[in-house]
Amino acid sequence: MHTEHITSPADRLTMRIREANRQGRKALIPFLPAGFPDSGDFWRQLDELDAGGADVLEIGIPFSDPCADGPVVEQASLESLARGTTLRGVLEELERRKGRYRAGIVLMGYLNPFLQYGLDALARDAARAGVEGFIIPDLPLEEDALCRGALAAEGLALIPLVASNTDEDRMRAYAGVAQGYVYVVSVMGTTGARTDLPAGVTATLERARRCFDLPLALGFGVREPEQLAACGDRLDAVIFGSALISHIRTQGSAASFMERWRRPVAELVL
């Protein structure tokens, strides 16, 4: 009897990035705060990102004290909060749209709203809505057991963040439990588009490559495809948020942003 191989949501995240790499390109992972630029248009923008070639969609859950976010993301998130955007509302709308997106769905947010929701309920409702993983910047490895366990019960990934100050021992500790992909932070500090990436990015990527078998996705400070030329095959995916938010504010559409990224990334870094 033929038995279909069933993969977990966390595994599907990895597979999406690997498939992009097999196609000869870096995976594209746009980040957009839920409810931006407004509660209705957010979903149109998400559709455009998906249709425009996103491999994973990172949806930011707005929070009043976003310690890792720069001014662009923070302002967009505060505006979304003021319009009444909630975690429950995002999950309910995602459940209504389940099956609509080609890209994987990851929720990125801070621990407090997730605790308020209830970790078991969060994992259950997220899985029901088609979410495949979570990124929680203010949850260190030493304190993530309850959250990781709740997500693992539904097959969801808890995606680690590593940076230039993450040594190999700590990276290997993360590698023992990590799923989905690895979020490599390009700069110390908060998010935000920058003209140039620090010289130490390649060393961080090389260290991460030695420690993780999962795909490496570079984020924080990514503004232009040309910034990635020096990274070469050290990275598998690119994450962009602040530059996308700024583009939507001025141009009104995510579609042209994705068009600008698709071909240059393939040409420059492969």
Which residue type, as a one-letter code, is found at position 220? F
Residue 264 belongs to a domain: yes
What residues make up the domain containing 260?
9-269
What is the pLDDT at residue 6? Answer: 65
What is the pLDDT at residue 121? Answer: 98
What is the pLDDT at residue 265? Answer: 52
Q: What residue ranges in the chain does DSSP mark as E strands? A: 27-33, 56-60, 104-108, 133-135, 157-158, 161-162, 182-185, 216-219, 237-240
Q: Is the pLDDT of residue 3 over 70?
A: no
Residues noted as catalytic: 58, 69
Mean pLDDT of 2-28: 86
Mean pLDDT of 4-16: 86
Bridge partners of 238, per DSSP, are 28, 218
Mean pLDDT of 133-162: 97
Q: Is the pLDDT of residue 195 over 90?
A: no
Residue 4 belongs to a domain: no
Question: What is the chain's mean pLDDT, rounded?
Answer: 88
Residue 195 belongs to a domain: yes
Q: Is the pLDDT of residue 33 over 90?
A: yes
- 50-59, 66-75, 106-115, 230-239: least confidently modelled range: 66-75
Residue 168 belongs to a domain: yes
Count: domains in the chain? 1
Rounded to two decimals, the pTM is 0.90
Mean pLDDT of 132-158: 97
Residue 233 belongs to a domain: yes
Looking up residue 48, the CATH number of its domain turns out to be 3.20.20.70
Q: What is the pLDDT of residues 155-190, one digit of tens each?
A: 999 999 999 899 999 999 999 999 999 999 976 444
Q: Cβ of 38: how many Cβ atoms within 10 Å?
A: 13
Query: Is residue 219 within 8 Å of residue 184, measured between CB atoms?
Result: yes
Q: What is the pLDDT of residues 216-267, one digit of tens each?
A: 999 877 767 767 776 778 899 999 988 899 999 999 899 999 988 876 555 4
Residue 246 belongs to a domain: yes
What is the pLDDT at residue 196? Answer: 53
Query: Is residue 190 within 8 Å of residue 68, measured between CB atoms?
Result: yes
Residue 256 CA to residue 1 CA, distance in Å, equals 48
Query: Is residue 89 within 8 Å of residue 117, measured between CB atoms?
Result: no
Mean pLDDT of 7-36: 95
Residue 80 belongs to a domain: yes
Q: Is the pLDDT of residue 1 over 60?
A: no
Give the chain's radius of gyration (CA, Å).
17
Q: What is the pLDDT of residues 41-55, one digit of tens each?
A: 999 999 999 999 999
Residue 103 CA to residue 130 CA, distance in Å, equals 11
Give the phi and the psi of residue 189 in degrees, each rounded to 5: 120, -155
What is the pLDDT at residue 68? Answer: 60
Query: Which token pair is 242?
Result: 């602040």
Residue 196 belongs to a domain: yes
